Amino acid sequence: MAENPATTPDARDAIDIASFIDGQPVGRFQIQMLLTCAAVLFIDGFDTQAIGYVAPAVAQDWKLARGALGPVFGAGLFGLMIGALVFGPIADRIGRRRIIILCTAAFGVGTLATIFASDVPGLMTIRFLTGLGLGGAMPNAVALTSEFSPHRRRATMVMTMFCGFVVGAATGGLLAAALIPAFGWRAVFVVGGVMPLLLVLFLAVWLPESVRFLALSGRASDGVAALLARIAPSVRHPTGTRFVVQEIKLPGIPVVHLFGGGRAWASLFLWALFFMSLLDLHLLSNWLPTVLNELGASVSVAAIIGSMLQVGGIVGTFALGKFIDRFSFRALALTYGVAAVAVAAIGFSGHSIALTTIAIFCAGFCVVGGQGGSNALSATLYPTAIRSTGVGWALGIGRVGSIIGPLVGGMMLAAQMSSQSVFVAAAVPALCASLAAYALSRLAREQESTEPATGAVPLTPGSIP
């Protein structure tokens, strides 16, 4: 196994990137980086969830049967899965920046193309292709934000950045409620397609490469020095200074290393957590407007109430950040346990708009907020050489759940199950996610006395250099 130059004796006087970043306060450049990645995820969230908000209008326009758009939801999420699985490992080889720009351009074009769909098969194809870009953007935005963050604030910063996705998803509901009555459902996708294409121009000019990735590659010392100068403007490094990352390079296929170095059980439990969390999240976000519409709410009102899932997620993501930083997977276990109760409560709210809105808000607080915490902690489990791969594959496996969720929701509705039964069933994945997080917390306690140098995975935020 090849070693990074930082591990050799003649590199003792080199500047360690992780230690340097950890020793600095969070500055303007890092906040700008966080906001830029949040902007990518804002549009990602908008475009991912838009199809759920416009589904009732599409069904009415095309005169579709109840649950007929389930395959469309599944096709888009299948694209998300493939995008996450493929673009994570590619980014670990060629860099985060290129993949983020490429994927943002791809899902912008795909979303804009949605306006030309005229039937379910065509819409399925377009949503699959759009999903490839949507799926590739998120793991690399998570990795990039993580690699510019000091370890003591890493989970909080990644979760704050992830709020961009949640805000974008909520905005999709509010915008759909305003645009559909006036301009029709296609107007939502015009907005969702133009935004990322404009953002690509900004990303091409401003978005930097990961400083840790550059240092680990050893190919761009001048670029590393320039980025560190932006992180800490008062610090100057002499010409010729060597910058290193105190990590072992991992040659070969990145995915294989997810199961090496004591990471096998951690990766499997993490995949189970993502699978159950995203299954529940996408079942709720895709079918809530439709169920609410069938309970008597208008399309606009159903979109607004359904968006409370994401509004609750925004509040939950901000509120849970320090909690996750301090208690790690134990905090996630508790969060998803409460989520199970909140999701079931939606079904027992009857026709009360107030009670239903509160229950949906609480479910979003825990399910969406918990997913943000899962993203943040996944970035701390893996070293730089496989970070995008680790996050991407966790999201990719999770996307399998996100595909199954809407399909199961469609089958339950097609089977004429009551809304109460649907939401009680939707509480089960949240409970399973709680158990997976608890298993990870137990694994962390068993390994907390093990040093990273032995090859075992440290399972607390910031423990990866």
CATH number at residue 335: 1.20.1250.20
Both tokens of residue 195? 């935004």
Q: What is the pLDDT of residue 465?
A: 37
Q: Given a cut of 60, is residue 452 above it in pLDDT?
A: no
Task: Count other Cβ atoms within 10 Å, centred on residue 7.
Answer: 14
Q: Examine the pLDDT at 148 and tell me if it is beyond 80.
A: yes
What local confidence, expressed as pLDDT, does residue 248 receive? 62
Domain presence at residue 453: no
Quickly state the pLDDT bin for 416 (edges 50, 70, 90): confident
| pLDDT at site 453 | 41
Whole-model pTM? 0.76
Question: The domain containing residue 220 runs over which residues?
Answer: 16-236+254-445
Number of domains in the chain: 1
In 3D space, the residue among 67, 32, 95, 48 whose CA is nearest the CA of residue 395 turns out to be 48
Q: How confident is the model at residue 10 (pLDDT cuts 50, 70, 90)?
A: very low
What is the token pair recorded at 138? 């998120």
8 pLDDT band, cuts 50/70/90, is: very low
Residues 6 or more apart whose Cβ sits within 8 Å of residue 21: 148, 149, 150, 211, 231
The pLDDT of 225-245, averaged and rounded, is 79
137 vs 409, more confident = 137
Q: What pLDDT is stored for residue 381 in this prediction? A: 77
**288 with 361: CB under 8 angstroms?**
no
Q: Which residue(s) pair with 244 in the sheet?
A: 16
* CB contact at 8 A, 423 and 273: no
Residue 61 has pLDDT above 50, yes or no: yes
Q: What is the pLDDT of residue 190?
A: 92
Query: Residue 113: what pLDDT?
Result: 93
In angstroms, rounded to a whole number, what is the distance separating the alpha carbons of residues 258 and 253? 10
| Closest by CA position to 277, among listed 150, 370, 342 | 370
Q: What angle do CA 4, 234, 17 make, to 5 degrees?
A: 15
- Has residue 273 been placed in a domain? yes
The tens digit of pLDDT for each residue in 320-375 reads 887 887 777 888 999 999 999 999 888 777 677 788 888 899 999 999 889 888 88
Q: Which of 92-96, 268-272, 297-301 has the highest mean pLDDT?
A: 268-272
DSSP output for 240-287: T--EE-SS----S-GGGGGGSTT-HHHHHHHHHHHHHHHHHHHHHHHH
Give yes or no for residue 192 having a pLDDT over 50. yes
Structural domain includes residue 5: no
Among candidates 155, 167, 146, which has minimal Cα distance to 332? 155
In a domain, 147, yes or no: yes
Q: Which of 432, 440, 430, 319 is nearest to 381 (CA)?
A: 440
**Token pair of 73 as six digits:** 């939801």
Q: Once rounded to an integer, what is the mean pLDDT over residues 296-312? A: 76
User: Whole-number mean pLDDT of the chain?
Assistant: 82
Cβ count near 72 (within 10 Å) = 26
